[in-house]
Amino acid sequence: MGRSGLGGVVFAVILSGCSSSPSTPVQVVDRTHSGGGAVAPSRPQVTGGQYIVQPGDTLYSIAFRFGWDWKALAARNNIAAPFVIRPGQRVRFDVPGGSAPLVAQAGKPVVAPITTQPATPVRPVVQQPVKTPLPQPQPQTPVSTPSAPVSATPAVAGKVQPVTRSAQGWAWPAGGVLIGKFSSNGSLNKGIDIAGELGQPVLAASDGTVVYAGSGLRGYGELVIIKHSDTYVSAYGHNRRLLVREGQQVKVGQHIAEMGSTGTDRVKLHFEIRRQGKPVDPLQYLPRR
């Protein structure tokens, strides 16, 4: 799982998401401006400056943070497949003849000119499976509440749950109450928020490959990003525990995390879908309830 600090100058918005299983309807409670902590503010795509790669960063997490399509960012920086980046490497957002670069470090960004000296060689960050097995969740007694009819059964790593898919092939990533809707205006929500119970399963919304799993993007807590195609990625934030690793192939309905409250003040899932790096309304892709 990767880690990276969120630059405080300019960065991309979060992906959009909602949760529900086929047997568990999603109740809609429109609390776009409330309901358990604000998500990270939306910012436009960064079109100037550069970013210094930190340990744990991936090309996908940097693209997500700064509002870029990962293919375009790779092309801008001549990064070829398998898209390996190194700590200390400079990832450029500026166009030739653009303004002076901003060098974003982990934490607060600092203004610095471009240096002509190459960065100190560092071993490439190669995404490899973690050999230590993931801890198994402890059994719990399923519970439900009138306001959030979701199962509290703990997520089991790798388990694939039957789900209903939309015509576009997407499924709800969790069951619970929809408390935040997508907004394309200003710094409002770029995804959807679903309230649920601590530890309930978070599911992959479509088949794909995990390209980021960690807590390095401030405001998202424990975050999973899945690449579904060259066009679409999805993101799942505020989890209690992640059950997948970077590079892992997942199926729609597969348990990828446990719902939690990391990076926010209540238990919920923040879910986003991005098309070519731009946030889109998940409700336009998910099955109707």
Beta pairing class for 232-242 and 268-275: antiparallel
- What does the alpha-carbon distance between residue 6 and residue 217 come to, in Å, rounded to a whole number? 5
- Listed in sequence order, the residues at least 6 apart from 110 whose beta carbon sits closer than 8 Å to its beta carbon are 103
Q: For residues 272 and 219, is the Cβ–Cβ distance under 8 A? A: no
Sign of the CA dihedral 17, 155, 199, 287? positive
Cβ burial of 133 (10 Å; 0-12, 13-18, 19+) is exposed
User: Would you state the structure tokens that stand for residue 48, as one six-digit string?
Assistant: 């100037």
Per-residue pLDDT of the chain (289 residues; tens, 9 = 90+): 444 443 333 333 333 333 333 434 444 443 433 344 444 444 567 878 889 998 888 888 888 888 788 888 888 898 988 888 889 999 998 765 544 444 444 443 333 333 333 344 434 444 444 444 555 555 443 333 333 334 456 677 789 999 999 999 999 999 999 999 998 775 667 899 999 999 999 999 999 999 999 998 888 999 999 999 999 999 999 999 999 999 999 999 999 999 999 999 999 999 999 999 999 999 999 998 8
Q: Please give the model's pTM, rounded to 2 decimal places.
A: 0.65
- What does the alpha-carbon distance between residue 143 and residue 130 come to, in Å, rounded to a whole number? 33
Nearest by Cα to 55 from 122, 104, 4: 4
- What does the alpha-carbon distance between residue 255 and residue 174 come to, in Å, rounded to a whole number? 10
User: Quick one: pLDDT at residue 1?
Assistant: 45
Cβ burial of 88 (10 Å; 0-12, 13-18, 19+) is middle
Q: What is the pLDDT of residues 167-215, one digit of tens each?
A: 999 999 999 999 999 987 756 678 999 999 999 999 999 999 999 999 9
User: Would you state the structure tokens that stand for residue 207, as one six-digit string?
Assistant: 């088949």
User: Quick one: pLDDT at residue 153?
Assistant: 66
Residue 104 bridge partners (DSSP): 51
DSSP secondary structure string, 34-49?
A: -SSSPPPPP-PPP-SS
Structural domains in the chain?
50-111 (3.10.350.10)
User: Quick one: pLDDT at residue 251?
Assistant: 97
